Amino acid sequence: MSSMRVALLMGIVCAASAAQVFAAPQAPVPNFSSAEFPWISPNAEFIPPTSGLGPVTYDKAHPVIGRGLNNRGDVVEAPMRLADLSNPNLKPWAVDRLKKSNDELIARGIRYAARASCKPGGVPQFLVYGGGFQPIYIVQTPEKIVLINHGDNQVRHVYMNVPHSLHPAPSWYGESVGRYEGDELVVDTTGFNDKTFLDDSYNVPHTTELHVGERFKLMDEGKTLQVSFTVDDPGAFNAPWSAMVRYRRATAAQPLTEEPCAEQSVVHLGEFFQIPIATKPDF
């Protein structure tokens, strides 16, 4: 081999080595996994954004006070969760649907809930499914992230680093695709049916035009998980709106267990609503 060719080869090797040395290091993938120490939300209310349009809340101008029992059996008085029908971001048909939900709550003291009816919560209700008191487990792999809400063991699948299907079949949880941006997990979901509600407090409806973007971010040295999301549904709202949910890491081990919904032998809220019944056995 001539000295010129040797020099050229050595130059290429040196250049490649320098490129590796000076290449920007890849950011570590944030670890959201929660095998035995799940994420727990303090309540079912979405946190409004610091600016811009936020979620539907209760009618603060005309509150209706209700009386009920808390977890300790004490009688407490508090404003009922009656949706604010004056929200200017709502389409007229959505206002009508919320009014029916308000009327049901006033007349019966309870309103339809997906968890009580053994039905999927949809997105973003999944984040606070079952009143927000059910822990969420996250199984994280390079190809897919699985989110499991302990309530009825509801499951969402997030497919990583792939595009959306051209024509996804409408489903309860839609089609979720994800990617990492720095220390955040970014999830984009489309392809919904219109059988779910967006929240677990007021039964805010949506259409099949629903598009939800979520950002998962660890805070407080990994002790807190914040999920910020934006809802875009021109069929139900005049403009997109945003909110967030925060979780804390469980301080004691809570292994994931099976929690069937319909197979109950005691009275629960599902006694007041229709529960899905299988038309044929699974086995």
Residue 5 lies in a domain: no
3-state secondary structure of 157: strand
Q: What is the pLDDT of residue 160?
A: 98
Q: What is the pTM of this model?
A: 0.82
Residue 166 lies in a domain: yes
CA–CA gap between residue 243 and residue 245 (Å, rounded): 7
Each residue's pLDDT tens digit, 110-165 = 888 888 888 999 999 999 998 777 899 999 999 999 999 998 899 999 999 999 99
End-to-end CA distance of the chain: 72
Q: With bands split at pLDDT 50, 70 and 90, how would you rate the model's confidence at 43?
A: confident
Residue 30 lies in a domain: no
With a cut of 80, say whether residue 18 has pLDDT above it: no
Helix or strand run (H / E) with residue 97: helix 92-108
Mean pLDDT of all residues in the chain?
A: 85
Q: Which domain holds residue 178?
A: 39-57+86-272
Residue 249 lies in a domain: yes
With a cut of 50, say whether residue 35 has pLDDT above it: yes
Q: What is the pLDDT of residue 69?
A: 64
Residue 120 lies in a domain: yes
Spatial CA neighbour of 40 closest among 122, 119, 127: 127
* CA atoms within 13 A of residue 46's CA, in its CB half-sphere: 31
Q: What is the pLDDT of residue 44?
A: 81
CA–CA gap between residue 211 and residue 143 (Å, rounded): 22
Residue 1 lies in a domain: no
Residue 113 lies in a domain: yes
With a cut of 70, say whether residue 25 has pLDDT above it: no
The total of structural domains in the chain comes to: 1
Residue 45 lies in a domain: yes
Please report, rounded to a whole number, the percentage of residues in the chain having pLDDT higher than 90.
Answer: 60
Pairing of strands 241-249, 184-190: unpaired
Q: What is the pLDDT of residue 12?
A: 40
